[in-house]
A and B are shown apart, each in its own frame.
Chain A
Amino acid sequence: MVFKPIKGRVWKFGDDVNTDVIIPGKYKFKTLNMKELAEHAMEGLDPNFSKKAKPGDVIVAGKNFGCGSSREHAPRVLKELGIGAVVAESFARIFFRNAINVGLPVLESKEASKETREGDILEIDLEAGVIKNREAERSYNFRPLPSVLLDILQSGGLVEYLKKKGTYVL
């Protein structure tokens, strides 16, 4: 399994970032076009986020990221913007599932969540379970995802994984 290295600038958010602020319901009813929806990503917290975020950038947040509704649009708009990974102290479970299933890397690190600042550059190795922050000269270990979830991520999502493997390999 070989992952493309994740390296990008950090956008910092707080605790309990809910799916209504990641992508407000009023937009998701209007279209299924993720490019259009992505223009509103994180709008509830930062109206200009979609213009500022660059492919590869990393979101770092506090606890319970993605709480609220089950809308899969939430991880999909972040993936559409090219977000390389979301690092949080913890995730709400449906967002966590959805992120894996659409191929958006998500990982939990309490220390990285606390110590990382907006604008830092993070390098993440999903398989080894290491986050490096060169500016801060800090490195954090996290427990890598189980292999089946890494497989799904590497395939680009659950649909691609099932097309390739036919069934789950736990």
Chain B
Amino acid sequence: MSSGLTLTEKILARASGLPRVEAGGYVEAEVDLVMMHDLTGPLALDAFERLVERRVWNPGRVVVVFDHQVPADTVRSAELQRRLRRFVAEYGVRNFYDVGKGGICHEVLPEKGHVKPGDLVVGADSHTCTYGALGAFATGVGSTDVAAVLAQGRLWFRVPETVRVVVEGRFQRYVSAKDLILHMAGCLGEDGANYKSLEFTGSTVGKMGMDGRMTLCNMVVELGAKAGLVPPDGVTFRYLEGRVAGSLRPLYPDEGAEYEGELSFSVDSLEPQVACPPRVANVKPVGEVAGLPVDQAVLGSCTNGRMDDLREAAGLLRGRRVKDGVRMIVLPASQEIYLRALEEGLLEVFARAGAAVGPPNCGPCLGGHFGLLAEGEVCISSTNRNFTGRMGSPGAKVYLASPATVAASAVTGRITDPREVGGR
């Protein structure tokens, strides 16, 4: 009798029309959804226009989101964005989220019901793996890959080895999914899961809300992983209610699925974690870097710009002030989140604390737009990368942490354990 399949293998098998697939093999699979944004889209169109078929295989399965450099900050980016607007109009791509209509792609796609459990999703952005939180197999690809999918709806894939990641225990107050994934990066290294697919399970993941699951899956790429998945459960289906039209086709890992390996983590005594520059895997407990003065604090991004993140940070900032000499930038991940945060009074908390609240976009995370750092400056950030030069000057330093640690550090002006500001 052949062994059971992992969720990863089941999704890739169904998408390839095969009864089973094996890790290490190559398949050609039909893609359920393809995403591109304002930065990677123009390059994909270049490649698309060089292909023979000047038609889009299925405009209903294409999503275009403007988030990286919006509203346009240069004439050149305005021109590139105009080119994409013309493309979506010409080819009838209705799932288009322009400035003020969407937000960051990795929040918009799940939020607007484009991603369903069991789907195979590709996007021209490395953090496409975020959608694994909904039980989809989602992975980042290049612009030429996207062009091939636009034309044919199909793409080549190497079937990744699947590793089961079991997470047990209960987070302490002000410790969250971000601390867990940073801790994992520290343990495994930035290529610790290279080419692999991580399937998360265990009581901690079961109790985690969708926001936390998206944070977790978002950063698996920082460990090199091709995808990170949470098998669908009650949390998933409640999240999908009212968002997704039509029937669902969820898949689950087989009992007795064969994993390449298993990793276990316990979060009971996990402390807030900080990834020190210039590597995401250079992770330390907050106590080891506490006291370092910061110039900027960033709350937002596809990793940590969701409601749970804003609520946690606002809880620490309510009735407090961002320290003089620190500029705090808050960017809700989407228009929907912006409105909910407005209704809940969170945006007022941030504004009264002296933080600059901006429109939903990727912001300073990738250093192409606003909120850049000068030589020698230090930033504490809820984003996902701290590479040299990532957020501006190559002489600046970016420390990655949870929303709670970012908010606490903004208040004190130094990297701070949020439990010291908020109480344990």
A interface residue numbers (CB < 8 A to B): 16, 18, 20-21, 24-26, 28-32, 44, 63-64, 67-73, 90, 92-94, 97-98, 101-102, 146, 148, 157-159, 162-163, 167-168, 170
Contact = CB atoms under 8 A, between A and B. Distances in A.
A26 to B, nearest CB: 6
A66 to B, nearest CB: 10
Contacts of A73: 43
Interface string B108-128: 000000000000000011101
Nearest to B16: A170
Contacts of A157: 144
B388 A20 contact: yes
A97 B76 contact: no
A28 to B, nearest CB: 7
A67 B366 CA distance: 14
Nearest to B391: A25
A24 B191 CA distance: 21
A97 B368 contact: no
Interface stretch (B44-52, B89-97, B298-306): B44-52
Contact of B74 (A30, A67, A90): A30
Interface in B121-171: 124-126, 128, 140-145, 147-148, 151-152, 154, 156
B140 A70 contact: yes
Contact of A68 (B69, B74, B145, B385): B385
Contact of A168 (B28, B76, B126): B28
B194 interface: yes
Contacts of A29: 39, 68-69, 74, 76-77, 368-369
Contact of A72 (B43, B50, B152, B195): B43
Interface residues of B, number: 52
Contact of A64 (B77, B148, B224, B389): B224
Contact of B40 (A21, A70, A158): A70
B125 A72 contact: no
A31 B76 contact: yes
A170 B142 contact: no
Contacts of A71: 39-40
Max chain B Cβ within 10 angstroms of own Cβ: one of A72, A90, A148, A163: A72
A44 B389 contact: yes
Contacts of A148: 26, 156
Given A18-B387, A44-B394, A163-B51, 18 more contacts: A16-B190, A16-B191, A20-B388, A28-B368, A29-B68, A29-B69, A32-B80, A64-B191, A68-B385, A69-B126, A94-B140, A102-B142, A148-B26, A159-B50, A159-B144, A162-B51, A170-B26, A170-B156
A168 B124 CA distance: 20
Nearest to B143: A72
Given A28-B39, A64-B194, A97 B51 contact: no
A97 B141 contact: yes
Contacts of A159: 47, 50-51, 144, 147-148
Given A16-B190, A44-B388, A32 B42 contact: yes
Interface in B315-351: none
Interface string B1-45: 000000000000000000000000011100000000001101100
